[in-house]
Amino acid sequence: MKLIVPIAALLPVAVRVFAQEISQRPTLTPSPYSPRVPFPNPPPRDNDRVCVVMTHGDGITDDSLNILFAFHQCNDGGHVLFARGETYTIGTAMDWSFLNHIDIDIQGRIQFSNDTAYWQANSYPFVFQNVTSFFKLGGEDVWIYGGGTLDGNGQIWYDTYAAEIYTLRPVLVGIDGLKDSVLSDLVLRNSPQYYHFVANASNVVFNNIDIAGGSTSKNTAKNTDGWDTYRSEDVTIMNSVINNGDDCVSFKPNSTNILVQSLSCTGSHGISVGSLGQYPLAFDIVSSIMVSNISMCHASDGARIKVWPGVASTMSPDLQGGGGSGAVFNITYEDMTINDVDYAIEITQCYGQKNLTLCQQYPSPLTIEDIHFRRFKGTTSSKYEPLVAAFACSSDKVCGDIYAEDIDVRSPKGKKEAYCLNQEVVNLQGVQCTANYKGFN
């Protein structure tokens, strides 16, 4: 739904505040790598154009009109302020793709309403895996920072999804077409689904993001990925802490030139390429990915590549696929510390299908090559003892040039075994290959 703003209905918006009330732009310090494309570095905004978003402050009344008015007033060179100590409620889906050359200073708290019926009918749809979003963020040269909080009011969604798996749960931050922009110094809590879905973006930086959330009922918070990138290039994710229940970062189809570094991930499904090959007529590409300096704790995986087989498969009634093609190449995972992780490394071309024999009969046509894992250390969980990794390709015709070196990861009993299928074993240093497989992920 595109919201038409009736100006007469809006509360007043300040156009000037004292300079000390405005946050300074964060300093971006990449380590250990700098991205391929320099970080955005626009000139300061106009100090005479500062819009303070007004709020009803009761935690119930919708503040969306005030937010849109402030964005329009201070777009193209101004500065928008969500004031410290204030709570802003969003109960209307909003299109923010018009933003250009603007700083958005979130010092307060933004929370989304719990009207699940409204959001399912009106949140913004994407074209991948039934993803929808509370708002659509796009434009050019947008800086969002300030230390404030975005709260997705996730508990009602976790309970609603448990009762009806076809519930369309919005992602907390939905990006479509954003370029040359920075999101930094933000706290994200309780997303109904992914915390970020980054689509059709280029040269976007995520820095110092604090992600956490979980269910307080018996119903698990599912599919709460930290970041999913899709049809995007030159995205940097760094210096962040993630406590969630699904992928810490996931590179979905057509993600290229992505840098992920200096993250602490807890409770996740690892940092994943994929899943890919879900849609039969699609050609998925993920390439030129660098993942470095990662702490991975209490997770199902550390580094992961997951591809659907060459035959229709069902992960769950609301997640099915298989038969797609594509290419994964030039992927590096390095300097990862493992603590209580089921598999330190996992490659599978049998995602969503528990019948391994069927995957070998109908191998994925998606190629996997030029993959590097290096300098891993730590201890896995006992789930797949004595295995610490799985390198499983359904066919050596489409999967090869996979390398592991300086892998110092052991199971709780001190083993270093890895399941290896259709691999050049000589390239897998630091693990002991075996044909005994445990677990389907």
| Secondary element (H or E) of residue 359 | helix 356-361
SS3 119: helix
Return the biggest CA–CA distance within the chain. Answer: 72
Closest CA to 56 of 92, 86, 19: 86
CA-based R_g, the chain, Å: 22
Three-state SS string across 335-368, please? EEEEEEEEEEEEEECCCCCCCHHHHHHCCCCCEE
Note if 269 is an active site residue: yes
Q: Which of 79, 269, 298, 372 is catalytic?
A: 269
The token duo for 324 is: 């797609």
User: Which letter does DSSP use for residue 434 in this model?
Assistant: E
Cis peptide before 32 (omega within 30 of 0): yes
Q: 249 — phi, psi (to 5°)?
A: -140, 140
Name residue 321's beta-bridge partners.
313
Dihedral through CA 418, CA 424, CA 429, CA 430, nearest 10?
Answer: 10
User: Which letter does DSSP use for residue 404 in this model?
Assistant: E
CA distance 148 to 133: 20
CB-CB neighbours of 429 under 10 Å: 13
Question: Which residues does the annotation mark as catalytic?
Answer: 269
